[in-house]
């Protein structure tokens, strides 16, 4: 591996290590919030909250016009070419266009909330929730855009501090206050909306005072050449991310339309649990994309291929044991987190876990194609995936309920990931597959299944056993990777980067890796 690729891997590992801690915080806080809502309010009210969050996310993605993803790529690209004036220009343009687009969407949702709640979802109780969350949309957009700016500079800490820690921490504190004071369900909705508003304002103040970059054109409402260039690059991303959100959220919307808000609450106990499989993947991709974009601007395709394979191997090291716990023991997992009244979502949870595994298994194919500027190609794939998802949901949700929705997600989302990978291989010869990826998977799968059959036949799986089994599965995968000698020199570089960024002494781990490489 070249020195450039080696340095990039270290940078990705270091950024991923810090961002991973933030991702753990945000997922734990998200779970705490959802568990509190599920435990202290009715399942129907939890369904209202889940459906509102889904609609809000779709509208935010639409409002941002793809700029939150186009902006980091453009910043990294122009930085790679040393064009600082273009860097400052695209930052100002992106912030201006996103905020201008967000306000009308917020107003439209506020004034159409009654129609949406009664005509589309047949539940007037949804209206007040939509009104409360509509106010938070411009602030949510601001948070996303500012995160994108820092992401373009390879900085992950501001996003972790504000969007992950501050926003979720505020929500938990305000929600706890609502519960202690025994306020009605609307209080929980206000707690979530206020957390976005405070975070957005705080992030903007921090950026103004601490950012080490300028934003030429900030505040100018004149549509200029920089606006046009950024918008033309980002508009395909609007469709890509809106349609990817459709694949992620159509199931919830279809369940609300064909079934009941109660079923929405049941299904949305399974969805966040399945996302634990993607825990490291979402952390790594945040820093992976701008780094690979910079390499692409320099024509370093061999380095990108090596980074892709090494990154995928590390993603599976963490993802596969988590997947096994969720897939093999869905009822204990969902019952422990949300309560026994939600265990009916166990089959859906298993299917969604399979869907989530496609990302770490196939690697960051979409992000790599985006870094290479293949936005139109991604757009066509996303359109096909979204159409497939909608058709499958229309057929399967009325027949199979929440399990049908999960099947639709697995087929459409997994299909998109696979097509992306096939095209990435045809375009650049990049793929994640190697013996060092599959050998530890096969060995750990056999060992884990043996443990599963013993546990199922001789024990009753309780809540305290889940973390024990999770640790055991991680150990099995790690030992399998060692015994099959699937670690390489880059593994040590990853560990060194983690040690440097976190301050944790990893000397023992380095010694073990060195012995089995």
Burial of 460 (0-12, 13-18, 19+ CB in 10 A): exposed
- Between the alpha carbon of residue 207 and those of residues 101, 142, 158, 159, 214, the distances in Å are 21, 11, 9, 11, 10
Cβ contacts of residue 439 below 8 Å, gap of 6+?
480, 484, 486
- Asked if residue 106 lies in contact with residue 137, where contact means CB atoms within 8 angstroms, the answer is yes
Q: What is the pLDDT of residue 279?
A: 72
- Asked if residue 75 lies in contact with residue 214, where contact means CB atoms within 8 angstroms, the answer is no
Q: What is the pLDDT of residue 221?
A: 43
**What do you get for the CA distance between the two ends of the chain, in Å?**
15
Percent of the chain whose pLDDT exceeds 90: 23
Percent of the chain whose pLDDT exceeds 70: 78
Angle, to 10 degrees, between the axis of helix 402-428 and the axis of helix 375-400?
A: 160
Q: Which of 68-72, 382-386, 456-460 has the lowest mean pLDDT?
A: 68-72
- Asked if residue 396 lies in contact with residue 404, where contact means CB atoms within 8 angstroms, the answer is yes
Say whether pLDDT at 438 is over 60. yes
Say whether pLDDT at 442 is over 60. yes
Confidence of residue 295 (pLDDT cuts 50, 70, 90): confident
**Does 251 or 64 have the greater pLDDT score?**
251
The DSSP symbol for 329 reads -
Cα 279 from Cα 238, distance rounded (Å): 24
Place of tokens 């650049």: 428
Say whether pLDDT at 502 is over 60. no
**Buried b / exposed e across 432-443, counting CB within 10 Å, b at 16+?**
beeebbebbbeb
Q: Which of 59-68, 69-78, 160-169, 272-281 has the lowest mean pLDDT?
A: 69-78
- Mind listing the pLDDT tens digit for each residue in 213-231? 554 444 444 445 555 665 6
- Asked if residue 363 lies in contact with residue 312, where contact means CB atoms within 8 angstroms, the answer is yes
Say whether pLDDT at 107 is over 50. yes
Q: What is the pLDDT of residue 189?
A: 94
**Token digits of residue 111:** 């004034």
Number of Cβ atoms within 10 Å of the Cβ of 477: 24
Find the mean pLDDT for residues 329-334.
Answer: 91
Q: What is the pLDDT of residue 456?
A: 84
Find the mean pLDDT for residues 404-422.
Answer: 92
Determine phi and psi for 506, rounding to 5 degrees. Answer: -115, 30
- What's this model's pTM, rounded to 2 decimal places? 0.74
Say whether pLDDT at 237 is over 70. no
Q: Which of 31-35, 54-58, 176-180, 296-300 has the lowest mean pLDDT?
A: 296-300
Q: What is the pLDDT of residue 283?
A: 63
DSSP letters spanning 94-155: HHHHHHHHHHHHHHHHHHHHHHIIIIISS-TTHHHHHHHHHTTHHHHHHHHHHHHHHHHTT-
Cβ contacts of residue 177 below 8 Å, gap of 6+?
191
Task: Tell how far CA 359 is from the center of its chain.
Answer: 10
Q: What is the mean pLDDT of the chain?
A: 80
Place of tokens 């988590």: 322
Cβ contacts of residue 158 below 8 Å, gap of 6+?
146, 147, 150, 203, 206, 207
Q: Which of 38-52, 74-88, 320-334 has the lowest mean pLDDT?
A: 74-88
Q: What is the pLDDT of residue 180?
A: 93
When computed from its CA atoms, the radius of gyration of the chain, rounded to whole angstroms, is: 23
Residue (of 278, 288, 291) closest to 355 by Cα position? 278
Say whether pLDDT at 426 is over 80. yes
Q: What is the pLDDT of residue 160?
A: 76
Q: Which of 24-28, 137-141, 426-430, 476-480 has the lowest mean pLDDT?
A: 24-28
């Amino acid at each position: 591996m070249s020195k450039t690729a080696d340095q990039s891997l270290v940078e990705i590992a270091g950024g991923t290590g810090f961002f991973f801690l933030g991702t753990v915080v945000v997922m734990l806080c998200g779970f705490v919030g959802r568990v509190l809502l599920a435990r202290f309010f009715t399942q129907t009210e939890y369904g209202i909250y889940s459906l509102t969050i889904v609609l809000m996310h779709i509208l935010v993605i639409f409002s941002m016009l793809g700029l939150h993803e186009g902006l980091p790529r453009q910043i990294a690209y122009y930085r790679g070419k040393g064009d600082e004036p273009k860097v400052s220009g695209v930052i100002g343009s992106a912030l201006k266009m996103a905020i201008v687009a967000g306000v009308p969407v917020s107003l439209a949702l506020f004034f159409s909330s009654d129609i949406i709640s009664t005509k589309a979802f047949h539940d007037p109780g949804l209206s007040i929730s939509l009104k409360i969350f509509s106010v938070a949309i411009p602030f949510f957009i601001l948070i996303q855009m500012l995160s994108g700016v820092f992401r373009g500079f390879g900085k992950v800490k501001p996003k972790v501090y504000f969007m992950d820690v501050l926003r979720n921490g505020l929500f938990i504190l305000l929600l706890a206050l609502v519960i202690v004071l025994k306020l009605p369900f609307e209080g929980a909705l206000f707690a979530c909306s206020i957390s976005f508003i405070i975070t957005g304002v705080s992030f903007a103040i921090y950026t103004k005072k601490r950012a080490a970059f300028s934003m030429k054109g900030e505040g100018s409402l004149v549509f200029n050449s920089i606006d046009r260039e950024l918008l033309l690059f980002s508009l395909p991303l609007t469709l890509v991310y809106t349609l990817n959100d459709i694949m992620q959220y159509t199931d919830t919307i279809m369940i609300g339309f064909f079934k009941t808000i109660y079923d929405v609450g049941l299904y949305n106990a399974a969805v966040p649990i399945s996302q634990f499989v993607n825990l490291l993947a979402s952390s790594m991709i945040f820093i992976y994309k701008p780094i690979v974009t910079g390499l692409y601007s320099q024509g370093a395709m061999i380095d990108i291929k090596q980074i892709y394979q090494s990154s995928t191997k590390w993603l599976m090291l963490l993802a596969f044991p988590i997947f096994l716990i969720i897939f093999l023991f869905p009822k204990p997992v969902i019952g422990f987190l949300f309560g026994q009244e939600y265990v009916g979502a166990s089959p859906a949870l298993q299917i969604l876990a399979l869907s989530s595994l496609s990302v770490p298994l196939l690697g960051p194919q979409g992000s790599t194609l985006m870094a290479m500027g293949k936005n139109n190609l991604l757009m066509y794939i996303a359109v096909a995936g979204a159409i497939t998802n909608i058709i499958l949901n229309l057929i399967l949700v009325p027949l199979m309920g929440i399990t049908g929705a999960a099947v639709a997600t697995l087929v459409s989302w997994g299909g998109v990931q696979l097509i992306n990978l096939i095209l990435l291989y045809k375009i650049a010869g990049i793929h994640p597959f190697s013996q060092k990826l599959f050998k530890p998977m096969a060995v750990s799968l056999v060992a884990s299944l043996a443990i599963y059959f013993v546990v199922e036949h001789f024990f009753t799986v309780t809540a305290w056993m889940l973390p024990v089994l999770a640790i055991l599965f991680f150990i099995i995968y790690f030992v399998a990777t060692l015994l099959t000698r699937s670690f390489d020199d880059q593994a040590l570089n990853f560990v060194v980067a983690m040690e440097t960024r976190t301050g944790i002494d990893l000397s023992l781990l380095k010694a073990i890796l060195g012995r089995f490489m």
